[in-house]
Each structure stands twice: as structure tokens, then as C-alpha cells.
Amino acid sequence: VYVEYLDYEAVVANGWELGDDELFRKARRAGLAEESYGSFEVEPGDYLLEAAEEQGFDWPFSCRGGACANCAVLVVDGALEMTVDNVLSDELVAQGIQLSCIGTPVTDDLQVVYNVKDLPGLEELQL
């Protein structure tokens, strides 16, 4: 599974919007550091957070078990499936929010904005 990622901090720092269809195109052209934007492969069935850590990235987390929202990502394209019960409301999931510690990609390609834990609705779920 090919995963393209973008740090929410870079979205804010550049004045971009999460709903922008051109978001990843802008990120590709912006010359961001590797920790802010890039891509890696995830083996089917592996958790996104662990796969990012295997690449040497330091994505936010706390419980590693679906009980907080520190590891939340926004899925922009493709799909992640969460493998255990979790704290996210249906509304957040419908917006594309998923938990990377228990989320495994189920599409060949995935685009995620990570580090979205401070978005409305997620902040109060943090541990």
C-alpha cells in the first residue's frame, strides 16, 4: 500500500485548507522536509502508525489502543479500517478521521494528513 502523508502543522504554516482538492499537489511542490511530507509503503494488515515509526517518523500517539485521539489522521484519499472499538464518533469518522494506531490501509493508495489531534471534536478526546 502506497501512503502519501502530510503533517497538519505544514498545512497550517502554509495557510492551506484541509478541504482543498489541491492540498497534496501543493504539498508536493512546496519542498517540505521529509517528516512533513512524503510517502512510504505499508504492508497489508499493518498499522499505519507502526509503519510510520518503522520509517523513523515520530507521529503523535498515546494509548496505542483506540482509546484517545492523539494518533488521529484525516484520510483524504483511500481508506483505513480500524480493527478495534474506538472513541471516535460516527460524525468524526464520516469526516474522514481515523486512528492510525489501530488503522490498517484497505486501499492500494492512501493519502493522510497526520497530527490532526487538535482539530475540533478531537482535542477533548486526547489523553
- Cα–Cα distance, 62 to 30 (Å, whole number): 30
- Cα–Cα distance, 42 to 87 (Å, whole number): 24
Shortest reach from residue 63's CB to ligand FES, in Å: 4
Out of 63, 79, 93, 119, the only residue in the binding site for ligand FES (CB under 6 A) is: 63
DSSP state for residue 52 in the 8-state scheme: H
- Cα–Cα distance, 73 to 96 (Å, whole number): 8
Q: By CB under 6 A, is residue 119 in contact with ligand FES?
A: no
Shortest reach from residue 97's CB to ligand FES, in Å: 11
Shortest reach from residue 111's CB to ligand FES, in Å: 19
The cell for 64 is 496505542
- Give the residue with the Cβ less far from ligand FES, 76 or 117: 117
Out of 6, 11, 71, 80, the only residue in the binding site for ligand FES (CB under 6 A) is: 71
- Cα–Cα distance, 38 to 4 (Å, whole number): 6
- Cα–Cα distance, 113 to 96 (Å, whole number): 10
- Give the residue with the Cβ less far from ligand FES, 24 or 61: 61
Using CB under 6 A, count the residues that bind ligand FES. 11
Residues contributing to the site for ligand FES (CB under 6 A) = 61-64, 66-68, 70-71, 99, 101
